[in-house]
Structure 1
Amino acid sequence: MSRFRDELWQVVEGVYAEILAHPFLTGLTDGTLPREVFRYFVVQETHFLPDYARALAACGVKAADPAAVQRFAGDAARTVEVEHSLHVELLAAFGMDEGDARGEGAAPTTVGYGSYLLRACHLGTFPEALGAIVPCYWIYARVGEELLKQSSPDPLYAWWIETYGNEPYQETVAGVLDLLDEVAATLPEADRAKLCEHALTTARYEWLFWDAAWRRESWPV
């Protein structure tokens, strides 16, 4: 039986292939990624994650099914608690705390991605919000799963890879994809197309986020 997730993956898989081939990720697995590039990434994640948690909460507000409300409210809380703790530890590895990270400011891609997510989740329908947030879940799960096959000779990078490649995270994403299939099954074609459009945009932002770290992007003016 055909699943909507398979249709959606066809939309984003070209972007995912570019993500896997990006020197940021190949450098993670072979250990050659400059530490300063990874530090930049962690700092920008510290700025991005609160907006992602807000987007998850907004998506849950739009859901009609109480189970979906509970799922996204819970995931929003876990993003704040679990991923926040992860990034506190990663920052500490660079002798930094959250105050230091906030002092460096959010880069253009970080602001753009977070703003797009919040706009889609606050102003769009529940399926549109779902389309916007799914790539962050799904691409990280796919990246973690793929990179875990190789891991990394760098213990810090290996730890990061394990976080997203491990079974609990994969199970979380599987639950979101089950919900995606369920929601899409009753959608008119035009609404499915809008969902896919949002997903493609945020998948592209995922590539941009890693590329911005690789370039250590800054505001040009």
Structure 2
Amino acid sequence: MMRPDYGKTFGLWRAGAAESWHTYTHHPFVEGLRDGTLPHACFLHYLIQDYVFLVHFSRAWSLALVKAETLDEMRVCAGTVDALVNHEMGLHIMTCAQEGIDETTLFNAAEADENLAYTRYVMDAGLQGDFLDIMAALAPCVMGYGEIGLRLANEKNADTPYAEWIATYADPDYQAVCTTAGAMIDSAVARRIGDLAGAPRAARLQSRFTRSTRLEINFWQMGLNR
């Protein structure tokens, strides 16, 4: 299966973190979703932590909105916050409710160390840097889940109990979020630094993207470790 096209900048960042990116998108947790072998307890633990993650992730996208310089950037950031808060988090709420875990319990769940490290790194990237810094830190989650969702939708076992999770990220609406965010990042790079290749800031932005990718790997492993 060909990888999805989420823009030139994302493609360069993904290639610059190739080894980590493959580990992230083919982690044993991901493969357990694909073939249905992931223990339910691991998935539920991940889902609770991912709800907490999305709370902070939404705040980070809100910070990106503050850092935006154009109306188009503001629209994309605001739309992403809406998609996270009003749609993606709904899957977590619904699934956990079936296990007797209500939304208040989800919101107040204690953060795992891996969760804390990742979310605060992304927020710090935005607080220390500018719009591009926070985009580089945010992109692995947004685009990574889109890429994983598309691949698993094509490769999953028919009887995997995680088909609904896979469908959420393979869905055209989520894919549109990835494509729109990727195009916006390309425009933001062109506006601020011109061509990314050879730009003085290129190494720092790549470092942010790669670090976030590694933190995604740790997040999957947290799910397996329970």
TM-score, with length taken from structure 2:
0.88
Is residue 61 of structure 2 the alignment partner of residue 56 of structure 1?
yes
State yes or no: 1:170 paired with 2:170: no
Matching of residue 212 in structure 1 with residue 222 in structure 2: yes
Higher relative contact order (CA 8 A, sep 6+): 2
| Structure 2 Cα separation of the partners of residues 25 and 99 of structure 1 | 27
After TM superposition, give the deviation of residue 73 of structure 1 in Å. Answer: 1.5
Decide which of 24, 28, 41 is 1:23's aligned counterpart. Answer: 28
Deviates more, 1:153-162 or 1:73-82: 153-162
Could you tell me which of 180, 184, 187 is aligned with 2:193? 187
Residues 75 and 21 from structure 1, CA distance in 2 versus in 1: closer, same or farther, beyond 3 angstroms? Answer: closer
Identity among equivalent pairs (%)? 27
Letter in 2 for 1:197: S
Shift of 1:151: 2.8
Give 1:65 shift.
0.9
Q: Is the contact between residue 127 and residue 191 of structure 1 (CA under 8 Å) also seen in structure 2?
A: no
Q: Which moved more, 1:60-69 or 1:89-98?
A: 89-98
What is the Cα-based RMSD across aligned positions, in Å? 1.8
Counterpart pick for 1:113 among 118, 126, 130: 118
Q: Does structure 1 conserve the Cα–Cα contact (< 8 Å) formed by 2:52 and 2:109? A: no
Which blocks of at least 5 consecutive residues in structure 2 are unaligned? 1-6
Task: Give CA deviations for 1:131-170 in whole Å, capped at 9, x if unaligned.
Answer: 1111111101111111111234456400000000111111
8 Å Cα contact 1:48/1:110 also seen in 2: yes
CA positional deviation for 1:21: 3.0
In structure 1, the gaps of 5 or more residues are: 217-221
Instruction: State the AA in 1 paired with 2:121.
Output: Y
- Shift of the alpha carbon at 1:174? 0.7
1:68 to 63, 69, 73: 73
State the number of aligned residues. 215
Aligned partners of 1:29 and 1:153 also within 8 Å: no
Match of 1:78 in 2: 83
Q: Which residue of 2 aligns with 1:201?
A: 211
Give, as a single letter, the amino acid of the residue that structure 2 aligns with 1:215: N
CA–CA distance in 1 between the matches of 2:25 and 2:86?
Answer: 28
1:34-49 matches, within 5 Å, as: 34-49=39-54
Say which structure is richer in helix. 1
List per-residue Cα deviations over 1:186-213 (Å, max 9, x = no partner).
5171222222111111111111111111
| AA matched with 1:131 | A
